[in-house]
Structure 1
Amino acid sequence: MSSLPHSPSGRRAAPRPLPLPYWLAEFGRIRSAVLTALACLLLSTGALQLSHWRLNSAEDRLQLAQRTRDAAYTRYAHVDNEKRDIRNFQPRFVELRTRGLIGAEKRIEWVDAIRQVQEQRRLLPLSYEVEPQQTVQLAGALDLGDYQLQSSRMHLHMDLLHEMDLFNFLTDLHQRAFFAVQSCNIKRLARAVGAQGGPTLGADCTLNWVTLGTPAKAPAGNASAAASPASKETP
């Protein structure tokens, strides 16, 4: 066995240190550059994350602005359509309201229209009875907005010299008011032999006077309003 060398003084020599790898021995020369590179990498990563967050935030604001713009455009288009509809339909609406279709029913004007037609056509005396106004229940869906279709039924009796008296009466009355003829029954009247100038026919008709009105609001503490009684007239 070989023995460790001894120094001249008789002491054992200290072991020589192991040499460091060359790249570690030279690291001191590039340490500043490496630290600078690490700092730049950290700053770049932080800047990238911040840019990504700001990009997402900007995209969210852009989408919000686009939705706000689209909503504003939709409202503008809706208002523009409403203005165009008002311009197109207002004259017709005013005409229908003037003629009594829209608004509260005008029974006095109906009676006056009947009297005027009777006088102008020189018709024989007639009689009628008007029932209380009722809301019409439509078979199909019809968008009437805030209005309701309402009807007042009239039972009309006329003595006629001939059939055209009835047709002319209804035609003239249609020019003054809105109503629908539900039914008409015409029967021949018995006349004495040789009698002249009297009625030859009798007509019994049912007319429905229609209006578009807003629902009546019941007063506080009273859930239902009493219906007006039927009226009878004999011009």
Structure 2
Amino acid sequence: MDALTPNSASRPATPVPARVPLPYWVRDFALVRPAVITFAVAATLSIACAVASYWQLVAARNDEARARDARDAARRSYVYVESEKQEIRAYQPLFVELQRRHFVGVENRLDWVEAIRLIQERRRLLPLTYEIEPQQPYKIEGRLATGDYQLRGSRMTLHMDLLHEMDLFNFLGDLRQQGVFTVQQCALRRTAAAQAGQGGGSAAASPAALPAALSADCTLNWLTLTPGARRTGGVR
């Protein structure tokens, strides 16, 4: 068989490469492998614990901030409620009085008409006439904080025959006890009978039998704070 193989004897032998010695830190790694594994596990756990602690700290600070905001909001609400209670104690008597005078609430013209009739009878005034226009929002100079209420007004034109000026002043003074109004304008004039001179009437005669010395034409604005009124154009 060897003779059939050509040049088998003349082939050179393949050289075997020499082994390079491994570095000592690779060659001796088996000795420190348990320590390295233990260190890696410990380092991983330490980093995980540090990250978890950091996020817990952030969450705790966020909870603290929310709790502080809630505390401040509760404190502001408490101060606001206490302030409102003090304002209610201070202004409730005035509010009740304004309700009694029909300034706060729904407009009640029947009360005004009845009040005018009673004042006329009690003061024994000469006949008077008046006309009340429809109510509408009332505008004033500047700003007025009315909350859920709206200031509304009804214009009333009034004509009175007077024996003297005090009849008008007494009438308006008594009328202020029944409501809140502003006097937009008022004009006093002497009548023709007063200018011509009074006749010899009896001092005990009734006011209706005496001639009027003056006449008054006034424009009043009855005011009402109406809850939940719709805001539209107004009168002044």
TM-score w.r.t. length of structure 2: 0.74
Instruction: After superposing the two structures, state which structure 1 stretch, 201-210 or 127-136, moved more.
Output: 127-136
| Matching residue's letter, 1:201 | L
Instruction: After superposing the two structures, state which structure 1 stretch, 14-23 or 109-118, moved more.
Output: 14-23
| Aligned residue in 2 for 1:94 | 96
| Aligned residue in 2 for 1:79 | 81
> Within 2, Cα distance between the matches of 1:39 and 1:144?
72
> Within 1, Cα distance between the matches of 2:34 and 2:63?
43
Deviation per CA, 1:132-189: give whole Å up to 9, x if none: 2222134433221221211111111111122122122212222332111111111111
Higher helix residue share: 2
Provide the secondary structure at the position in 1 that maps to 2:192.
Answer: coil
> Within 2, Cα distance between the matches of 1:137 and 1:75?
33
Provide the secondary structure at the position in 2 that maps to 1:176.
Answer: coil
| Matching residue's letter, 2:112 | W
Deviation per CA, 1:190-213: give whole Å up to 9, x if none: 125551442211111111111111
| Aligned residue in 1 for 2:204 | none
Q: CA deviation at 1:102?
A: 0.7
2:39 to 9, 13, 37: 37
Whether the 8 Å contact between 2:126 and 2:160 is mirrored in structure 1 is: yes
| Aligned residue in 2 for 1:232 | none
The percentage of aligned residue pairs carrying the same residue is: 50
> Within 1, Cα distance between the matches of 2:20 and 2:137?
111
Q: How does 1:1-235 map to 2 (within 5 A)?
A: 27-191=29-193, 192-193=196-197, 195-196=199-200, 197-215=210-228
| Matching residue's letter, 2:41 | A
In structure 2, relative to structure 1, the CA distance for the partners of 1:28 and 1:115 (3 Å cut) is same
Aligned length: 204
Cα-Cα RMSD: 2.6
- Listed as ranges, the gaps of 5+ residues in structure 2 are 1-15, 201-209, 231-236
> Within 2, Cα distance between the matches of 1:68 and 1:194?
81
> Within 2, Cα distance between the matches of 1:64 and 1:151?
49
> Within 2, Cα distance between the matches of 1:52 and 1:20?
44
In structure 2, relative to structure 1, the CA distance for the partners of 1:15 and 1:102 (3 Å cut) is closer
Q: CA deviation at 1:216?
A: 5.6
TM-score w.r.t. length of structure 1: 0.74
| Matching residue's letter, 2:219 | T
Instruction: After superposing the two structures, state which structure 1 stretch, 17-26 or 152-161, moved more.
Output: 17-26
> Within 2, Cα distance between the matches of 1:151 and 1:199?
31
Whether the 8 Å contact between 2:198 and 2:211 is mirrored in structure 1 is: no
In structure 2, relative to structure 1, the CA distance for the partners of 1:157 and 1:42 (3 Å cut) is same
- Listed as ranges, the gaps of 5+ residues in structure 1 are 1-13, 218-235
| Aligned residue in 2 for 1:233 | none
